[in-house]
Amino acid sequence: MKTERILVTGGTGYIGSHTVVELQQAGYPVVIIDNLSNSNRDVLDGIERITGIRPDFVEGDCSDRAVVKKLFNDYPDIAGVINFAASKAVGESMEKPILYYRNNLNILLNLLDEMSTHATKGIVFSSSCTVYGEPDVNPVTEEAPIKKATSPYGNTKQISEEIITDVINAGAPFKSVLLRYFNPVGAHPSAEIGELPNGVPQNLIPFVTQTAMGIRKELSVFGDDYNTPDGSCIRDYINVVDLAKAHVIAVERMLTDKSEAKIEVFNLGTGVGLSVLELIASFERATGVKVPHKIVGRRAGDIEKVWANPARANNVLGWKAETPIDDTMRSAWAWQCRLRERGVM
Ligand code: WQD
């Protein structure tokens, strides 16, 4: 067991919980802080069933400065931070911009403040390909221009990257790795943890699996008149366990001072773009379960096509998204079936 503890904010959430599993399996002690606004304590049981280790858990809201101060005082061995905690629904952010700016930016500012007065070596920030907007060229490299955000959610990611850059350039005694995720999908192969959105899913895959389960009547495909081979939007769907593993590598890179640079940016994607219709076909092929769907109008704010050039993460981090999309679709379906077995939905 390593001695450097990793603080995972939002660690009972979808990507956070999968990252906690990988951190524990790499030997890191973990403390999770989460306000359970979009997750629940059962996730801790799932993590423990996978790793045999129940992570320390603090229920709290990181947008409250006093909460973060107490956390760092209670855990003086925090050597690294991975910040997942944020409000993250694109559509909701259009309706509640103040909530998104206050919550997402206060969380980050409170963490950076406390890190500056503790021996914390670095912060891994959960960023998003949203910062690129509609890219001029696909696949997208880290040098692609950052475009004006199309939502307050996406803007909080851009502003957060700028805040981290300014704080570190001002001499903060820690490093940062900014991980720009493409579209995280799937679930842990054990089916003990997975994506569990509150209410009607906004993202594609939970809607696919709930439709396949009969919870939703039909999947609406938002547009087939885009400038793509089959007319539906293209994304880079990355397996959530592959994504989680990249976080462990990023943490190790910071803690062992592998990089001269104080801030590094990586696109985390497969490098392969898949359309909505291709993803539905993958799910049906992989599981043998049909997904009733219909074409409807476009969804406001949707990007037409975006997929990653992951060469820097492949070459510098030595990380590559390995899981075939059909396996990822099977993992998402196995998780949905587990939720049904448990009577969750
Ligand atoms: C994917 C594709 C939809 C639902 C957003 C954020 C990103 C990250 C992931 C948080 C699009 C289509 C979807 C449906 C559909 N968020 N779709 N019917 O919008 O690419 O990315 O979520 O970390 O930062 O921007 O993901 O899953 O909502 O949509 O046709 O019922 O599926 O139009 O083309 P998106 P998504």
Q: Residue 256 and residue 56: Cα distance in Å, rounded? A: 24
Summarize pLDDT for 166-208 with one digit per residue, the tens: 999 999 999 999 999 999 999 999 999 999 988 899 899 999 9
**Active site (catalytic) residues:** 153
- Domains of the chain, residue spans: 5-185+238-268, 204-235+271-342
Quick check: do 5-185+238-268 and 204-235+271-342 share a fold? no
User: What is the pLDDT at residue 223?
Assistant: 98
- Bridge-based pairing of strands 183-185 and 175-181 is unpaired
> Could you tell me if 174 and 120 are in contact, meaning their C-beta atoms sit under 8 angstroms apart?
yes
Q: Note if the bond before 76 is cis, omega within 30 degrees.
A: no
183 CB near ligand 1 (under 6 Å):
yes
Q: What is the CATH architecture of 5-185+238-268?
A: 3-Layer(aba) Sandwich (3.40)
Name which residue sits closest to atom 13 of ligand 1, judged by CA.
204
Confidence of residue 91 (pLDDT cuts 50, 70, 90): confident
For tokens 């994304």, the residue is: 235
Name which residue sits closest to atom 30 of ligand 1, judged by CA.
221
Q: Residue 186 and residue 189: Cα distance in Å, rounded? A: 9
Confidence of residue 136 (pLDDT cuts 50, 70, 90): very high
Ligand 1 center–CA 17 separation, angstroms: 21
234 CB near ligand 1 (under 6 Å):
no
- The residue-averaged pLDDT of 259-273 equals 96
Name which residue sits closest to atom 3 of ligand 1, judged by CA.
222
Angle between helices 204-212 and 325-341 (to 10 degrees): 60
Ligand 1 center–CA 53 separation, angstroms: 33
The total of other beta-carbon atoms located within 10 Å of residue 198's CB is: 11
Instruction: Express as a percent the part of the chain with pLDDT over 90.
Output: 92
Ligand 1 center–CA 198 separation, angstroms: 16
Confidence of residue 99 (pLDDT cuts 50, 70, 90): very high
Q: Residue 258 and residue 266: Cα distance in Å, rounded? A: 15
Mutate to test the pocket of ligand 1, among 84, 87, 235, 293 (most ligand atoms within 8 A of CB): 235
Q: Residue 188 and residue 194: Cα distance in Å, rounded? A: 6
Confidence of residue 95 (pLDDT cuts 50, 70, 90): very high
Ligand 1 center–CA 4 separation, angstroms: 36
9 CB near ligand 1 (under 6 Å):
no
Assigned CATH topology for domain 204-235+271-342: UDP-galactose 4-epimerase; domain 1 (3.90.25)
Instruction: For the chain, list the strands marked E by DSSP.
Output: 5-9, 30-34, 56-59, 78-83, 122-128, 175-181, 183-185, 219-222, 234-235, 237-239, 263-268, 274-275, 293-296
The total of other beta-carbon atoms located within 10 Å of residue 2's CB is: 13
| Whether pTM exceeds 0.85 | yes
Mutate to test the pocket of ligand 1, among 299, 304, 325 (most ligand atoms within 8 A of CB): 299
For tokens 């510098």, the residue is: 316
Q: Residue 177 and residue 261: Cα distance in Å, rounded? A: 10
Of all residues in the chain, what percent are helix, strand and coil, respectively (each to 5)? 40, 20, 40
Q: Residue 9 and residue 27: Cα distance in Å, rounded? A: 18
Is the model's pLDDT at 56 over the cut of 90?
Answer: yes
- Bridge-based pairing of strands 237-239 and 293-296 is unpaired
Confidence of residue 343 (pLDDT cuts 50, 70, 90): very high
Ligand 1 center–CA 297 separation, angstroms: 14
Name which residue sits closest to atom 18 of ligand 1, judged by CA.
221
